[in-house]
Chain A
């Protein structure tokens, strides 16, 4: 087993070195894409791992945070990074409210009800924003987004590495929270066995509420960072919901560091295909083929064991 893992690591390192020499951009842009994927998927993974809900309104929370950031920054003339904390607090409060008013009421119902409930929430949120803000996109422009580095002939943007940093911080932070704090340990216990946790005296409902609030706070933070690189419009979050869901499934439920790994794998593979001219249109397919492969591979391995 240990040998096998060593071999895998060596192959992975070799592949990265070869890629760096042949097409450095594949690694650079692959990591940048991975950072973005992971930062948005991790909060969903947290909710799915502990509350066991697939939140189809996940991207919509990010969209709301992005709009909140936009309005705050436009009216006060501040940078989104300054707005990050207040927006996270507001989004978290909204997320907690949504949890209390809707999701909590459906927790005893079958899983599918919760899924469709969040689907309905997603529609209602997107369309309300569309009504007030129209579908016209809004974008603020910041000089630092175009920061770049030259290495020989190659010039590339470095700003998106911010997302890699946030992803790593999130993984470490959540790990510390879940293993070192009392509340975090309780959350982990609830995630593994809610009934058992209730028996030993953990307030399951409170734990769910706080996990939902933490996850939406993280989504809110990322919404603020997201707007620095991307335009905001009512449907901006929707595609990320599905991508996040796929990434979480690929990592395996409850495996938060795994989400980062899955994102890196996907980001690099996508950019690998994009490096070939004729294959460019097919880069989307990698995502889904990899997901199926990983899920099937794990299911076969699981059956053997």
Chain B
């Protein structure tokens, strides 16, 4: 009897909690009809998602301050995906069915995106993705997903872009010659995907000799790079590339120095860099792959506006390219809704497909087909270099802010 009563209490608790969630949505839906709602999911506990969502809010506030979209106010609802597939999927269900948002934006990890795709397919909601680099996401989407707009480049886009970039750099600066390439990659999904993409795209012709080895990232309790650096040193690469997390950046350099491993190009591809990385003496002339750096402010007024606005609003520097990327996503969405004149799916898809946005990334964003999907935004990455504490753009040359320093100075 008591037990049954207890179950009853539990169930009532649960149901009322769920019902409350439903009511919130109903009230909101019945409220101001003039608001256009964007729903976003990011991993808010991670700096990428935190700053991404902050920058998106910054863009929303800017747009509203400038009069909104055709007189309608723009609203952003953010839910934490906690970097978990099931949480991400559940967040989308809520945004679509309870909050009844007009469009979805955001995203960071591919692992979350893969869990969200079944939900997206169920509702065919227009989604402007700021993350998810893995080609597995594209495969899972399939060719029919015309409501999926992918702003972030796929992993193979990035690989192809680097291959192109290095070819261009070697042509323009003949003193830089690369034959042997070594990739040290963290053993998780990110590093493994980077290695696979690099092998395919750099190994296409016999131009490069490629080798690589995995390591356990310091972000996951590793941080001992001796084995992988030993393998790299024995290989004697012209270009040493590491794909890991920001926690690996300085310890890798320190251990390389201790082992007297001194390649001509020392290149890192983490999604972000540690605070004050540039202040370390070891950091100078380290190269990196990236999408945005504060130095782009020098060549792009949009970037400058974004940067100054972000610093003014939050009192900190944007530390990850997910900030300008998410900022761009809101502007692209707002612009498309404005041109479409409605939030109707078909009209919105059409308007988004015609996007031509001068972004803070120092390049214009348009949507073109990639291997499978129809609407791929940014397809290239940039090659940058730490010079005197600043990330300078080396390639593409039309966005360059400095010339490369080569070779990487001997220890």
Question: Which residues of A are at the interface with B, using a C-beta cutoff of 8 A?
Answer: 25, 29, 32-33, 127, 130, 134-141, 143, 145-148, 150, 155-159, 229-231, 233, 235-236, 238-240, 243, 271, 274-275, 277, 280-281, 284
Contacts and interface: CB of A to CB of B under 8 A. Distances in A.
A25 B226 contact: yes
A283 to B, nearest CB: 8
B258 A148 contact: yes
B17 interface: no
Interface stretch (B112-120, B127-135, B243-251): B243-251
Given A281-B214, A284-B216, 7 more contacts: A135-B46, A136-B274, A141-B250, A146-B258, A157-B258, A230-B223, A280-B227
B249 A139 contact: yes
Interface stretch (B86-94, B276-284, B373-381): B276-284
29 contacts: A25-B226, A32-B224, A127-B45, A136-B47, A136-B274, A138-B274, A138-B275, A139-B276, A139-B280, A141-B280, A146-B254, A146-B255, A146-B257, A146-B258, A148-B258, A155-B258, A156-B226, A156-B259, A157-B259, A229-B223, A229-B251, A231-B250, A231-B274, A239-B220, A277-B213, A280-B213, A280-B227, A280-B228, A281-B214
Contact of B272 (A29, A136, A230): A136
With a 10 A CB-CB cut-off, give which of B246, B248, B254, B260 has the most chain A CB atoms: B254
Which secondary structure dominates where chain B touches chain A? Answer: helix
Contacts of B226: 25, 29, 32, 156-157, 271, 274
Contacts of A284: 216
Interface in B74-111: none
B187 interface: yes
A281 B250 contact: no
B260 A155 contact: yes
A148 B46 CA distance: 35
Contacts of B319: 136
A229 B223 CA distance: 9
Contact of B274 (A127, A139, A280): A139
B45 A130 contact: yes
A280 B216 CA distance: 10
Contacts of A230: 218, 223, 247, 251
B231 interface: yes
A145 B251 CA distance: 9
B250 to A, nearest CB: 4
B314 to A, nearest CB: 11
A75 B54 CA distance: 28
B144 to A, nearest CB: 36
Contacts of A274: 226-227
Contacts of B223: 229-230
A235 B257 CA distance: 27
B386 to A, nearest CB: 13
Interface in B267-297: 272, 274-277, 279-283
Interface in B180-225: 187, 213-214, 216, 218-221, 223-224
A270 to B, nearest CB: 9
Nearest to A228: B254
Contacts of A32: 224, 226
Nearest to A159: B258
Nearest to B220: A239
B390 interface: no
Contacts of B46: 135
Nearest to B192: A281
B230 interface: yes
Interface string B31-61: 0000000000000011100100000000000
Nearest to A273: B227
Contacts of A29: 224, 226-227
Nearest to A233: B247
A243 B220 CA distance: 12
Contacts of A157: 226, 254-255, 258-259
Give the size category of B's interface with A.
35 or more
A145 B252 CA distance: 11
B74 to A, nearest CB: 26
A148 B260 contact: yes
A238 B275 CA distance: 21
Contact of B254 (A25, A33, A141, A277): A141
A271 B227 CA distance: 8
A134 B48 CA distance: 10
Nearest to A157: B258
A140 B254 CA distance: 11
B254 A145 contact: yes
Contacts of A233: 219, 247
A51 to B, nearest CB: 25
Contacts of A156: 226, 258-259
A138 B230 CA distance: 26
B224 A137 contact: no
Nearest to B230: A25
The 5 lowest CB-CB distance pairs between A and B, nearest first, are A239-B221, A157-B258, A141-B280, A274-B227, A146-B257
Nearest to A131: B45
Given A29-B226, A157-B226, A139 B250 contact: yes
Contacts of B45: 127, 130, 135
Contacts of B50: 134-135
Nearest to A158: B258
Contacts of A130: 45
Nearest to A271: B227
Nearest to B48: A135
Contacts of B254: 141, 145-146, 157, 229
A141 B282 contact: yes
B221 A243 contact: yes
A157 B187 CA distance: 23
Nearest to A28: B226
A130 B44 CA distance: 10
Contact of A231 (B251, B255, B260): B251
A141 B47 contact: no
Contacts of B251: 139, 229-231
B107 to A, nearest CB: 17
A141 B280 CA distance: 6
A156 to B, nearest CB: 6
A134 B258 contact: no
B214 A280 contact: yes
Contacts of A280: 213-214, 227-228
A158 B255 CA distance: 10
